[in-house]
Amino acid sequence: MKVIEHLAKADHPLISFEIIPPLRGGDVRGLLALIEDLSQYKPPFIDITSHAAEVIYEETPQGAIQRRVKRKRPGTLGVCALIQNKYHIDAVPHILCRGFSREETEDFLIELKYLGIDNVLAVRGDDSGYQKPLQHGRSANGYACDLVAQISAMNQGKYLEQGLLDAEPSSFCVGVGGYPEKHFEAPNLVSDIRSVKEKVASGAEYVVTQMFFDNRHYFRYVEQCREAGITVPIIPGLKVITRRNQLSNIPRNFYVEIPAALADEVAAARDDEILHVGVEWALQQTQELLDRGVPSVHFYVMQTANAIKLLMSKLGVGVGV
Ligand SMILES: Cc1cc2nc3c(=O)[nH]c(=O)nc-3n(C[C@H](O)[C@H](O)[C@H](O)COP(=O)(O)OP(=O)(O)OC[C@H]3O[C@@H](n4cnc5c(N)ncnc54)[C@H](O)[C@@H]3O)c2cc1C
């Protein structure tokens, strides 16, 4: 079922999760256990991130620096197949512009269609230091709105190769990313919101936000999006802080602010107390969002369920609900 259908049919706020495939060569059993844990909360959908190849520099035993191109986390398609067909939860694979040609994206979408997957989240991806050379006759999507346009065209039966005789339209529900604290490359929030409007005009049916730790960013963002004429659901994305080093990692990697009150509490906590500090903060955020009537909350779980299990129990979301 499509994400927007889940939202339209729900008689209570929905809780969804986002997970990340294991590192190349890594054991998938940890991820299976995580999905098993998350499935008990009956999420309407689970997002699975995608990862392009990136450049890494490694020192050889001889002391030379070696440049390698590596896709660290393959497996998005396999994890989606599992979630969709073993757990009967709607899988939402992320699809990227960067690192993939439009032709590869079309093939990926065909695989998803065969698997019965109804949803995708279309994002541009970040600069990984590696730009795959485009082979002759291949093309690339520059911005997420171009990727959304490609998927929308396929939804109308328009594949990259013109004039196919029996091309079946797909029927993907497309989500896109939004940044309550502004995307780091955008000159200002107004122009960033204009990009979201363009993604919606290209066919996106809902927005999931980047993580934020102060709900005021989200409320202001939704207000500005509505003023700009964006009417689709804007699902808030939340993350639970569980480690001290996230105080610097999260702002560095995601360009979001950690409020002083939360940062001070984490800094003052013992290592074994940090999870509880993070869960309490996320609990307050979630409760306020739910009180203010959000249709759904999306949690960036990524690899381990400890924090989310504690949070769900405090929220009163029971196993098997
Ligand atoms: C919910 C969510 C999930 C994500 N999942 C993944 C994932 O699985 N894998 C991954 O690698 N990354 C993921 N990301 C990160 C994302 O790829 C990066 O934040 C990336 O830098 C921007 O992606 P976007 O889709 O928002 O880009 P876009 O919407 O293309 O915007 C990128 C920048 O360009 C500007 N812009 C957009 N359109 C135009 C235009 N036509 N002309 C000029 N400027 C324009 C925007 O304002 C913005 O500053 C995710 C982000 C979010 C919010």
**Reduced to 3 states, what is the DSSP secondary structure of residue 127?**
coil
pLDDT digits (tens, 9 = 90+) for 127-164: 878 777 888 889 999 999 999 999 999 999 999 998 88
Distance CA 286, CA 215 (A): 9
Asked if the model's pLDDT at residue 321 lies above 50, the reply is no
**Which residue in 22, 124, 30 sits closest to 75, CA to CA?**
22
Least confident of 4-13, 57-66, 283-292: 57-66
Distance CA 97, CA 128 (A): 12
- Best of 19, 195, 211, 297 to mutate for ligand 1, by most ligand atoms within 8 A of CB? 195
pLDDT confidence band for 60 (50 / 70 / 90): confident
Asked if the model's pLDDT at residue 53 lies above 60, the reply is yes
Average pLDDT over every residue of 49-72: 86
- Rg for the chain, CA atoms, rounded: 20
Please name the residue whose Cα sits nearest to atom 10 of ligand 1.
125
Q: How many A from CA of 306 to the centre of ligand 1?
A: 29
**Reduced to 3 states, what is the DSSP secondary structure of residue 121?**
strand
pLDDT digits (tens, 9 = 90+) for 198-242: 999 999 999 999 999 999 999 999 999 999 999 999 999 999 999
Please report, as a single letter, which amino acid is at residue 258.
I
pLDDT confidence band for 61 (50 / 70 / 90): confident
Q: How many A from CA of 195 to the centre of ligand 1?
A: 9
Asked if the model's pLDDT at residue 75 lies above 70, the reply is yes
Average pLDDT over every residue of 275-302: 97
Please name the residue whose Cα sits nearest to atom 18 of ligand 1.
125
pLDDT digits (tens, 9 = 90+) for 83-121: 999 999 999 999 999 999 999 999 999 999 999 999 999
**Reduced to 3 states, what is the DSSP secondary structure of residue 306?**
helix
Q: How many A from CA of 284 to the centre of ligand 1?
A: 28
| Residues near ligand 1 (Cβ within 6 A) | 49-51, 94, 96, 121, 123-126, 143-145, 177, 183, 185-186, 192, 195, 198-199, 208, 210, 237
